[in-house]
Amino acid sequence: METEAKLTRLASCAGCGAKVGAGTLSKLLQDFKTHTDSRLIVGFDKSDDACVYKINEETALIQTVDFFPPIVDDPYLFGQIAAANAISDIYAMGGEPRLALNLLCAAEQMKEEWIREILRGGYDKAYEAGVIISGGHTIRGSDPLYGLSVTGFGDPAHILQNSGAEAGDILILTKPLGIGILTTAAKAELISGDLMEKIYKQMAALNRDACSVMKKYNVHSCTDVTGFGLMGHSCEMAQGSGCTIHLVTGKIPYHEEAYEYADMGLVPAGAYRNREFAEHDTEIRGTVSRTLQDILYDPQTSGGLLMAVPESEASSLLAELQDTVPCACEVGFVTEREEKALVLEGSR
């Protein structure tokens, strides 16, 4: 769809790169008075992807919300990506998404046609996921924003949290990194059309198939890799699980073009916030270039699932994943807690 002005130029930042840093969030939420409820399995104190409330022995309600500024100029594609990103939190908990509410802030410069296309993209992606958009809220503001509040359901005995990793687990990631760097380069008009189509397709892809396969195995922990980057989300998983996560840099998938642009300095601001959060609890063994580190800290939009699974099941899970999610890779392993929560295993 052609537009006279670029949608991304109406916003000061893009996609999940707009996310407030994890370290800042924890400080902002300190000492708030809240009710307690034994049925609340996962709350905001867990730094997890969604909250989970146990309804009965068979059913838990899973709720999340996610919205952000445009990361692409096509309004319909923006709607699809934002919806896929929001729905992903339910998949990361091992749940089934069912209901959603629109959240839309329309900038004054936006045409009604753009607004309609953003909503249409969201509705189409929700339909693909089997989700009913049952309402929402729309306002006017300075920056365009779109996303969803999503409700899902799951078995309370099999909810996947980001704090369940165990020593001996193998880590599997289902989408390559580099989205934030590449979309930053795209805003500078340095990216080819073919490459952009590839990363647009990746961002708009649901994590449904990966979740469906994952639930067949004894996965201990899961999170989706979004605004905090692989390093930030891995750090949260390690700290919450009381273990150390080792990321083997030679195994981590990323778009090769992202390395070139990161080396040129085209790194989004969110990557530096992620580094500020995780770097103090990270040890580097061997050689890991600053450029590759930038890719690992790069904020992802609608990124893949990061799973911690027992070593005995890892090869079977990975093989089945690769039938439907070809880019899934083993990226590391989990040990008992060492001095640091994260270890980057580089070249020797």
DSSP state of 60: E
179 shares its domain with 48: no
Alpha helix ranges (H) inside 93-228 = 112-128, 179-187, 193-204, 208-214
Please check whether residue 328 is in contact with residue 212, taking contact to mean a CB–CB distance below 8 angstroms: no
Which tokens sit at 184?
């930053």
pLDDT at 16 over 60: no
pLDDT for 3 equals 43
> What confidence tier does 2 reach under pLDDT thresholds 50, 70, 90?
very low
pLDDT for 47 equals 77
Scan for tokens 């969030």, then name that residue: 25
Query: What separation in angstroms does the CA of 276 have from each of 11, 21, 24, 43, 272?
Result: 24, 9, 10, 25, 6
Count of C-beta atoms within a 10 Å radius of residue 242: 13
Q: Which of 4-18, 40-54, 169-183 is least confident? A: 4-18
Handedness of CA 70, 71, 74, 80 (dihedral sign): negative
Which of 138, 137, 104, 106 is closest to 122 using CA atoms?
Answer: 104
Count of C-beta atoms within a 10 Å radius of residue 339: 8
The predicted-structure confidence for 141-191, as pLDDT tens digits, reads as follows 888 999 999 999 999 999 999 999 999 999 999 999 999 999 999 888 898
pLDDT for 17 equals 57
pLDDT at 234 over 50: yes
179 shares its domain with 323: yes
Which of 46, 89, 47, 30 is closest to 65 using CA atoms?
Answer: 89
Scan for tokens 């093989």, then name that residue: 319
Look at residue 117 and tell me if it is in a domain. Answer: yes
Please check whether residue 291 is in contact with residue 181, taking contact to mean a CB–CB distance below 8 angstroms: no
Q: In total, how many domains does the chain have?
A: 2
Please check whether residue 340 is in contact with residue 231, taking contact to mean a CB–CB distance below 8 angstroms: no
pLDDT at 313 over 70: yes
Share of the chain above pLDDT 90, in %: 81
110 shares its domain with 177: no
Query: What separation in angstroms does the CA of 156 have from each of 46, 94, 131, 170, 203?
Result: 16, 10, 20, 24, 29
Q: Which of 46-50, 273-277, 298-302 is least confident? A: 46-50
Strand ranges (DSSP E) for the chain? 40-42, 51-54, 60-68, 96-107, 132-141, 145-154, 169-173, 221-224, 243-248, 282-285, 305-310, 329-336, 342-345
206 shares its domain with 64: no
What average pLDDT score do residues 261-288 get?
95
Q: Provide the annotated active-site residues.
A: 16
The predicted-structure confidence for 32-44, as pLDDT tens digits, reads as follows 878 888 899 988 7
Query: Higher confidence at residue 66 or residue 18?
Result: 66
What span, in angstroms and rounded, lies between the C-alpha atoms of 298 and 275? 9
The domain that holds 140 is classified in CATH as 3.30.1330.10
Handedness of CA 152, 157, 158, 163 (dihedral sign): positive
Scan for tokens 């201990």, then name that residue: 220
230 shares its domain with 302: yes
Which three-class secondary structure state does DSSP give residue 340? coil
In terms of residue numbers, what domain contains 54?
A: 7-158
The predicted-structure confidence for 67-119, as pLDDT tens digits, reads as follows 999 999 999 999 999 999 999 999 999 999 999 999 999 998 889 999 999 99
Which three-class secondary structure state does DSSP give residue 36? coil
pLDDT for 250 equals 96
The predicted-structure confidence for 283-299, as pLDDT tens digits, reads as follows 999 999 999 999 999 99
pLDDT for 27 equals 72
Which tokens sit at 32?
């708030």
What average pLDDT score do residues 8-35 get?
66
Domain boundary at 158, 191, 219, which? 158
Look at residue 329 and tell me if it is in a domain. Answer: yes
Scan for tokens 């400080």, then name that residue: 27
145 shares its domain with 181: no
pLDDT at 18 over 70: no
What average pLDDT score do residues 274-289 get?
96
What average pLDDT score do residues 267-284 get?
95
The domain that holds 312 is classified in CATH as 3.90.650.10
pLDDT at 46 over 60: yes
154 shares its domain with 177: no
275 shares its domain with 140: no
200 shares its domain with 111: no
Domain boundary at 158, 187, 202, which? 158
What average pLDDT score do residues 33-59 get?
87
Q: Can you count the helices (H) and strands (E) in the chain?
A: 11, 13
